[in-house]
Structure 1
Amino acid sequence: MTYPHVNVACVDFNGQNKQGFFGVFDGHGGSKAAEFAAENLESKIQEEVLKRGESEIVEAVKQGYLNADSEFLKQEQRGGACCVTAIINSGNLVVSNAGDCRAVVCNGGVAEALTSDHRPSRQDEKQRIESLGGYVDSSRGIHRVLGSLAVSRGIGDRSMKQWITAEPETKLFKIVPEFEFLIMASDGLWDKVSNQEAVDVARPFCGSMDKLEVISACKKLVELSASRGSVDDTSVMIVQLGSFC
């Protein structure tokens, strides 16, 4: 069974021009967590930015994720969501993830992953889970937390919250002219298409500011993943970084 993804794009983050908030949210065990994160995560981060100031935006993002998770858990809904978000703010690119959605930038034609997937097979994630009294096992080559969940971070997952943290990994980058565009996508793409392949497919469509061309690039990537046997829902978003310089 698959669940819908939810994408969010807002080009006036914090009420300012040339700012943006973008997110891809991939639900599992139901769609409620992805829908909640898409509707609430931006505002939770904005609240923290207003409290702390833009100089502490990395900490603001972290707390925003945790606050959104806490609010969702109060609803006693089932399921969870992997998230990848990007904030463009004052010439900086702030990229965060919790789960296995990924952000990749085209840096002068070279693909550069800006996030690292949170999967139980990652040694540091495995150690974190075990230190909390949990365990990771493997079946048919897939590592799972407590034999159940194939990701180790995300919003929601109430029954496994002791081990599945919503705390994101966040990195801040100065936007340079070589940063052409950002690809944000769910694991349905990255399980079948490498970072460099994705950039190579998308780049011919991203030379102009034509939105239809960018949409075509997203469709090409989804089609490529499907042609290679992906049966997972796949969501792709491309952000042209030159629009915010």
Structure 2
Amino acid sequence: MSHPMEDYVFAQFKQVDGNELGLFAVFDGHLSQEVPDYLRSHLFDNIINEPNFWTDPEEAIRKAYKFTDSTIMNKAIKKRKGGSTAVTAILINCETLVVANVGDSRAVLCQDGVAKQLSVDHEPNKERKVIEEKGGFVTKFPGDCPRVDGSLAMSRSFGDKRLKEHVSSEPDVCVEEVDDDTEFLILASDGVWKVMSNQEAVDCVKDVEDPRLAAKHLIKEALKRKSRDDISCIVVRFHFRPPPNVQVPSMPIAALSLQFNAAKPGQGKQAIKTCLQFNATKPGQGKQAIMTLRPLH
């Protein structure tokens, strides 16, 4: 049976208090579109509005994740049904990359051709002790993955009200300095990672200079490997140079988001969404060039 697309992506460049920020995220929802949609609309604002964001971004992110989840639980989502993963990446002044996540959506950095996972997969088996200490349990039935209380296939998430006593929204946070060896970043939902390792994903796109084509190639490869889940990915290439025939400003960094609903019969090759490209090196020149991509065939 088909289901609505529950993956949401976010890619934006903006100036805040004289600083330049690249904001990127993948939210993989389950049982509802409400939670990932709310995260896309509010999570980054909540992070940036934390008073200590510029002095201690790690702590600001933790506070904002907690506040956002509390808001979802208390009033934002009327039905309070379902939940979502989150993997967020904030690029500060083209120098510092701060990645945070809950759930199993993943961030992988390519440094000099080598994959480096920046996020943590929050799997029930890995956090069984904590779950059981909170009064929950982890099941593992034949042919299925481990689940919290026989239901949720991850140990941390936003939402999931009925499981909240046993499931945390506390993120893991990682800080990376961007240098000459930093090539690109992949953010993707588990529709990619169920069928590809980190290094396989990096190898799949490392020779594709244009991040738009890289994201297409990654998703096509995941489908080729029989991924049967919704797929979302963002590719952020550092030091990107567009081909001569592309009439856009010079942009050392570019990002692309593509979404698939591979569960709908006959629609597994429909690529949708928007490409955002920007120059993140010169203050005041971070203009977005936006284009709509044609369906893949």
TM exceeding 0.5:
yes
Q: Structure 2 unaligned runs (5+)?
A: 240-252, 254-279, 282-297
**What aligned pairs does 1:49-198 form with structure 2 within 5 A after superposition?**
51-73=51-73, 74=75, 75-76=77-78, 77-90=80-93, 91-122=95-126, 125-139=127-141, 140-198=143-201
What CA RMSD, in Å, does the superposition of the two structures yield over aligned residues? 1.5
Q: CA deviation at 1:13?
A: 5.4
In structure 1, the partner of 2:32 is: 30
Q: CA deviation at 1:4?
A: 2.5
In structure 1, the partner of 2:223 is: 226
Give the counterpart letter for 1:215 in structure 2: R
Give the counterpart letter for 2:192 in structure 1: L
Instruction: State the secondary structure of the residue aligned to 1:69.
Output: helix
Q: Structure 1 unaligned runs (5+)?
A: 207-212
Distance 2:13 2:104 in 1: 25
8 A contact 2:186–2:236 mirrored in 1 = yes
8 A contact 1:24–1:85 mirrored in 2 = yes
Give the counterpart letter for 2:224 in structure 1: S
Deviations 1:22-59 (A, max 9, x none): 100000011111100011000000111xx114121100
8 A contact 1:2–1:232 mirrored in 2 = no
Distance 2:112 2:58 in 1: 26
Distance 2:17 2:24 in 1: 15
Instruction: State the secondary structure of the residue aligned to 2:154.
Output: coil
Closer/same/farther in 2, CA of residues 163 and 118 from structure 1, 3 Å limit: same
Distance 1:241 1:127 in 2: 40
Higher helix share: 1
8 A contact 1:92–1:172 mirrored in 2 = yes
1:202 aligns to 2:213 (yes or no): no
Closer/same/farther in 2, CA of residues 3 and 162 from structure 1, 3 Å limit: farther
**Higher relative contact order by CA 8 Å / sep ≥ 6: 1 or 2?**
1
8 A contact 2:104–2:121 mirrored in 1 = yes
Closer/same/farther in 2, CA of residues 146 and 19 from structure 1, 3 Å limit: same
Give the structure-2-normalised TM-score.
0.76
Q: Match for 2:21 among 19, 24, 41? A: 19
Q: Match for 2:238 among 229, 241, 244? A: 241
**Relative to structure 2, which stretch is displaced further, 139-148 or 35-44?**
139-148
Distance 2:146 2:124 in 1: 6
Instruction: State the secondary structure of the residue aligned to 2:187.
Output: strand
Instruction: State the secondary structure of the residue aligned to 1:52.
Output: coil
Distance 1:25 1:13 in 2: 23
Q: CA deviation at 1:2?
A: 5.7
Q: CA deviation at 1:197?
A: 1.1
Q: How many residues align?
A: 235
Q: CA deviation at 1:241?
A: 2.8
Instruction: State the secondary structure of the residue aligned to 1:176.
Output: coil
Instruction: State the secondary structure of the residue aligned to 1:11.
Output: strand
**Relative to structure 2, which stretch is displaced further, 218-227 or 19-28?**
218-227
Name which one, 1 or 2, has greater alpha-carbon Rg. 2
Instruction: State the secondary structure of the residue aligned to 2:234.
Output: strand
Instruction: State the secondary structure of the residue aligned to 2:156.
Output: coil
Closer/same/farther in 2, CA of residues 152 and 16 from structure 1, 3 Å limit: farther
